[in-house]
């Protein structure tokens, strides 16, 4: 029997205080998981809307900030969702903007996943890791060099970790959201010309909503996806098929 139930599981979602992270956290909770919601700002608003959850306010600009948590709690599902973006012409792009983005978007993904796998493998238990990739895991983008590099890196890490851990009971996959109406895309949506260009290419004819990503996360966290390893699931309204 195919199961999408997460009853009895504990999930950690980074960047759970808003946007895609909040939608994923709530969906995992609705599927039965106890959810640890981690965010730079307080995730208590998210926690208050869920049947079984707790909040962790943490400085996610420190890539190893969550590492101790994996030794303190049994975590069955890790969702590496937290991310930032910085925009500037590549010839003017600062080293700080490069480092800030890479630390949160890529280095933290590696360190969180490493700590999760160490705990799961040493205990002999199964686990699920879900990374947030991007359309820019496949494309170059414009004026977002560190974001593009980080999301290409997330795609590569997802495949590498799947190769190493699939036989040991840890699934590693990623979701590549398309153009989703979140804080990270405000600048694009407020640029009338760019907004029109984007909408004209999306076969679904609309920007995605954070909730559009949530179902994919539940699927990749649930037993229904136990034979899926190293996949990058595009949830993009058909963008990459165009």
Please answer whether residues 142 and 193 qualify as being in contact, where contact means their C-beta atoms are separated by less than 8 angstroms: no
Alpha carbon of residue 192 to chain centroid: 28
Alpha carbon distance 226, 231 (integer Å)? 12
> Cα–Cα–Cα angle for 179, 182, 186, nearest 5°?
85
Query: How crowded is residue 91: how many other Cβ atoms within 10 Å of its Cβ?
Result: 5
**Surface-to-core class of residue 172, CB atoms within 10 Å of its CB (0-12 exposed, 13-18 middle, 19+ buried):** buried
Helix (H) or strand (E) holding 29, with range, is helix 19-30
Alpha carbon of residue 229 to chain centroid: 16
Please answer whether residues 132 and 83 qualify as being in contact, where contact means their C-beta atoms are separated by less than 8 angstroms: yes
> Cα–Cα–Cα angle for 85, 138, 197, nearest 5°?
70
Alpha carbon distance 74, 164 (integer Å)? 21
Nearest to 76 by CA among 18, 15, 21, 28: 28
Annotated catalytic, 227? no
Q: Which of 70, 116, 147, 165 is catalytic?
A: 147
Q: What is the tally of helices (H) and strands (E) in the chain?
A: 9, 7
Catalytically active residues are: 147
């Amino acid at each position: 029997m195919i199961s999408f139930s997460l009853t009895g599981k504990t999930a950690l979602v980074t960047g759970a205080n808003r946007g895609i992270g909040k939608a994923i956290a709530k969906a995992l909770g609705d599927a039965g998981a106890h959810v640890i919601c981690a965010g730079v700002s307080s995730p208590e608003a998210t926690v208050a809307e869920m049947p079984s959850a707790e909040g962790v306010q943490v400085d996610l600009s420190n890539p190893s900030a969550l590492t101790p948590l994996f030794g303190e709690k049994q975590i069955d599902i890790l969702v590496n969702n937290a991310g930032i973006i910085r925009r500037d012409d590549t010839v003017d792009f600062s080293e700080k903007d490069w480092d800030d983005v890479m630390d949160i978007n890529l280095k933290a993904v590696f360190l969180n996943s490493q700590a999760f796998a160490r705990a799961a493998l040493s205990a002999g238990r199964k686990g699920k890791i879900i990374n947030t990739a991007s359309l820019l895991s496949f494309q170059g983008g414009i004026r977002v060099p560190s974001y593009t590099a980080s999301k290409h890196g997330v795609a590569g890490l997802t495949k590498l970790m799947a190769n190493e851990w699939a036989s040991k009971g840890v699934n590693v996959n990623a979701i590549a959201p398309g153009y989703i109406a979140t804080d990270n895309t405000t600048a694009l949506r407020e640029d009338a010309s760019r907004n029109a260009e984007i909408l004209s290419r999306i076969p679904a004819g609309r920007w995605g909503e954070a909730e559009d990503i949530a179902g994919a996360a539940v699927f990749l966290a649930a037993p229904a996806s136990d034979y899926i390893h190293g996949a990058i699931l595009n949830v993009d309204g058909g963008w990459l098929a165009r």
